[in-house]
Amino acid sequence: MDTRIDYYPTHEYNGFRFRRGRPMPFGATIVPNGVNFSVFSSAATGCTLVLFQKGESKPVVEIPFPEEFRIGSVYCMIVFDLDEERLEYGYRIDGPWEPEHGHRFDRTKILLDPYAKTVGGRDVWLRPPNWDDIYQHRARLVFEDFDWEADTPLEIPMEDLVIYEMHVRGFTQHPLSGVKHRGTYAGIRDKIPYLKSLGVNCVELMPIFEFDEWENGRRHPETGAWLTNYWGYSTLAFFAPKAGFAATGRLGMQVDELKTLVKDLHRNGIEVILDVVFNHTNEGDHRGPTMSFRGLDNKTYYMLTPGGFYYNFSGCGNTLNCNHPVVRNLVLDCLRYWTAEYHVDGFRFDLASILGRDQNGAPLANPPLLESLAYDPVLARSKLIAEAWDAGGLYQVGSFPAYGRWAEWNGKYRDALRRFLKGEMGVAGEMAARIQGSPDVYPYRGPTASVNFVTCHDGFTLSDLVSYNDKHNEANGEYNNDGANDNNSWNHGAEGETDDPEIARLRRRQIKNAVTLLMLSQGVPMLLMGDEFGRTQRGNNNAYCHDNEIAWVDWRLLEQNAELFRYAREVIAFRHAHPVLRRREPFAHADVAASGYPDISFHGTEAWVPDWDGTSRVLAWMLCGKHARVADDYIYVAANAYWDALFFAPPVLPPGMAWHVFANTSMAPPEDIHEVGKEPRLNDGRIMVGPRSLMVLVGR
Amino acid sequence: MAFKVSSQVTGDVVSMTLVGELDASSAGAFKSEIDKAVGQSPRSLVLELKDLTFMASAGLRVLIYAKQKLGSGVSLYAVAPQDGIVSTLRMTGFDKSVYIVDQPPPPTPDTGRRT
């Protein structure tokens, strides 16, 4: 390769030797003896490559692209003999400043390459940067030499997943997390044994694409506490891992550290899904900074109003123009890169409905981006999960263009379960659909389209859901105006912390009820980090700005609430043990296995007499194990959301079989749940299900 | 502290002593030494790291380069690395590709502890 005729310099500028490059791939690519730089702009009149020595305030050289280096709308150049380890690069773009026509070129700014694979400038979390630096976020090169050994994405079937949503920093940043490198990828690696003991087989990482934790940084108007961009739903560089989440970020080794985490999670049977934010960037609206896309090609990358302002379907100032063919390719390139280079198993798309809007914001019937993602050859086995709504009012749960591939965060599941849990009347009928994988919402796609959850990062934690009637977001410094008002939560008699043992007991029972319903529903369950041991945000349902104990997992609770952890662990094990809980297809509501029972049957306090009355607060159902893909036990659940105990009559089993009690949330531990296979036999025909409790029986 | 590297060949073992800070400015010298070692077709490469005080990304890259150039049949030993270096090797997963040991391995047979 070194001697190829097309790898020799043809030009020289201030001692730097270069030649015309290759337009593809975009970004900076290491080639024999040099680096190929390629950047797109449809309306630029000129482009300059700006090279820095790492950490230096002034560029070492600014090389204008000769006009003959432009191929179409792509500027490309190979520069020879660069020190790749110590190189930082950016671009200056010439072009018109005509906002009314969509152009906001500004030659005074040095711009970040949208394809930058690592970015310097925020190497250590919240270390004060040099605000006078002319180039704050600096593109750097990466070496793709990681030793993956035999690792590949795990390709666990969707129906077998138990997803655990986590924030990389929040998971282990607490002083008592017990890991060596708190708040980092390496910290998660130390917690792999914990994740295994809990039984989850997929972690969904909240945004890890490079973002600026200083963005919108401010002091609380009353307390003076520092508030920061902690969640990171504000992408700066789509191809670069967040350096501040790496213990080795200061050494520039975040790529290796993250890949090591993925490799070790895989080795332990745990998949990795990334929460990706393609709906907007961190450049904000017309008042925001020019860092990359705005200065490269504003009109291509953003949805603009006829007057040249920014459509704001994201609620964050701008909207990425995802169905423009160039932007679509950027998204595809990005996801392929993370799949191929980082062995990531899938993606959850934040405010995904935006990805289905056209360049003027109108919803498309057949959005090219979503179709491309669904049929992409590299992503063919990747999990694709949509948050099927946006901040512009488009709500597509059940109607998201899925192409047989996409799953969705099922917001209807969350709402119905919460309402049932707190004892609302008339929810039993809807709950019957939700526990089946929402066939009313996904009649053709089947249960695996439904990612079921009770809580996620956005809203109350599970413990807070049963401890607060109202949000308490005063610490966010917005006078409690931010965050959702409609939470379907209930405090059970006292707002927040209480020393009333009866209320505390009832709350614990409700947490167990919620986790049980979640894990026994068809579809894909998702648990929020720490909910398995009662994590609280003290009633804050929008902790986006808190890099403190509000948002961090307090690992002391694992011991304090060992009862909850044990319960969650056993119920997750129960899900893994029973294929009848993990169907790929919707129920037939018929006895297709000729077992004498339908695949699913509904019951009330009497067997075979379901209570669909508008005042009903009970739901009981039975799954016939003969209908599972592998012969399984029978499972019966009796959920009583009524305030008094009720007697239920489970269906009679075939001769030779008997009911055994797996869980009874009204009982104190250790009788609340039993190890799989060690469930005690039920002697009586009837069971008494306590107030606001449920029982799970297993028939064998 | 300036970086220094020196090599010694004993039979089919190449031993290299690294002293000082291995960063982008010194990685080139280390890489040249690795290239020389590869030319010897050794059975193992022993890196004496007792006096190596710092290793940046560029240094790690050369270690990966060495591992790839030598091939999986050649054992790579890191002898007595300082805590910071061990930590870096662990966090970046390179501890899976190298034997971290307190003493240089005996000439034969291969008894290195894979950590």
Per-10-residue mean pLDDT, chain A, length 700:
70 96 97 95 98 95 98 98 94 97 97 98 95 95 92 97 98 97 97 98 98 94 93 97 96 96 98 96 95 98 96 92 95 98 97 92 93 96 95 91 94 98 96 98 95 98 98 96 96 97 98 98 98 98 97 98 98 98 96 96 97 95 96 97 97 96 98 97 93 98
Let me know whether A113 and A209 are in one domain: no
Same domain (yes/no): A118, A172:
no
Q: Is A254 on the interface with B (CB under 8 A)?
A: no
Domain boundaries, chain B: 4-101
Whether residue A86 sits in one domain with residue A58 = yes
* Domain tally, chain A: 2
Q: Which chain A residue's Cα is nearest to B26?
A: A85
CATH of B4-101, one of 3.40.50.1820, 2.60.40.10, 3.30.565.10, 3.30.750.24: 3.30.750.24
Q: d(Cα A608, Cα A103) in Å, to the nearest integer? A: 67
Give A260's contacts in chain B (Cβ within 8 Å).
91-93
Do B64 and A85 make contact, defined as CB atoms within 8 angstroms?
A: no
Q: What is the pLDDT of residue A91?
A: 98
Q: Are residues A231 and A357 in the same domain?
A: yes
Residues of B with CB under 8 A from a CB of A: 24-25, 27, 56-58, 60-61, 64-65, 67-68, 87-88, 90-94, 96-97
Give the rounded distance of the alpha carbon of A446 from its chain centre. Answer: 21
**A129 and A185 in one domain?**
no
- End position of a domain, from candidates A526, A557, A580: A580
Residues 6+ apart with CB under 8 A from A69: A20, A21, A75, A76, A77
Residues A321 and A414 in one domain: yes
Question: Same domain for A237 and A311?
Answer: yes
Residue A649 counted as domain residue: no
pLDDT band, residue B97 (cuts 50/70/90): confident
The answer to whether the CB of A370 falls within 8 A of the CB of A396 is no
* A150 lies within 8 A of chain B by CB: no
CATH number of the domain within which A412 lies: 3.20.20.80
Both A443 and A301 in one domain: the answer is yes
Dihedral (Cα; B82, B87, B89, B92), 10-degree rounding: -160
Q: Is A251 on the interface with B (CB under 8 A)?
A: yes
CA atoms within 13 A on the CB side of A327: 27
A140, A172, A191 - which closes a domain: A140
List, as ranges, residues 7-66 from A with C-beta within 8 Å of B: 54
CATH of the domain at A117: 2.60.40.10
* Whether complex ipTM tops 0.90: no
Global pTM value: 0.95
Taking the CA of residue B91 and the nearest CA in chain A, the distance in Å comes to 6
Bond from prior residue into A99 cis (ω within 30 degrees of 0): no
C-alpha separations of A637 from A186, A340, A525, A619, A699 in Å: 40, 42, 17, 8, 11
Does residue A666 contact residue A691 with C-beta atoms inside 8 Å?
A: yes
Comparing alpha-carbon positions, the chain B residue that sits nearest to A144 is B61
The set of catalytic residues of A is 350, 387
Q: Is B92 in Cβ contact with A256 (below 8 Å)?
A: yes
Question: Are A355 and A405 within one domain?
Answer: yes
CB distance A257–B27 less than 8 Å? no
Give CA–CA dist A367/A369, Å, rounded: 6
pLDDT at B112: 45
Give domain status of residue A79, yes or no: yes
> Does position B115 have pLDDT exceeding 50, yes or no?
no
In angstroms, the separation between the Cα of residue A361 and the nearest Cα of chain B is 43
Q: Which residues of B touch A186 (CB under 8 A)?
A: 90-91
Measure B10 CA to nearest chain A CA, in Å. 28
Across the interface, do A253 and B93 touch by the CB < 8 Å criterion? Answer: no
**How close, in Å, is residue B58 to chain A by CA atoms?**
6
Total CB pairs under 8 A between chain A and B? 61
- Say whether both A186 and A253 belong to one domain: yes
Q: Is A264 on the interface with B (CB under 8 A)?
A: yes
Residue at A254 is within a domain: yes
Q: Check whether residue A444 and residue A516 sit in a common domain.
A: yes
Residue of chain B nearest A264, judged by CA positions: B93
Under a CB-based contact definition with an 8 Å cutoff, are residues A401 and A371 in contact? yes
Contacts with A252 from chain B: Cβ below 8 Å: 56-57
Query: Is A681 within the bounds of a domain?
Result: no
A110 & A185 share domain: no
The answer to whether residue B108 scores a pLDDT higher than 70 is: no
Domain that holds residue A59: 11-140
Nearest by CB to residue A253, choosing from B24, B60, B65, is B60
Query: Cβ of A83 and B60 within 8 Å?
Result: no
- A202-205 vs A163-166, strand pairing mode: parallel
Final residue belonging to a domain, choices A580, A603, A631: A580
| Phi then psi dihedrals of residue A558, to 5 deg | -60, -40
Residue A530: exposure state from Cβ atoms within 10 A (0-12, 13-18, ≥19): buried
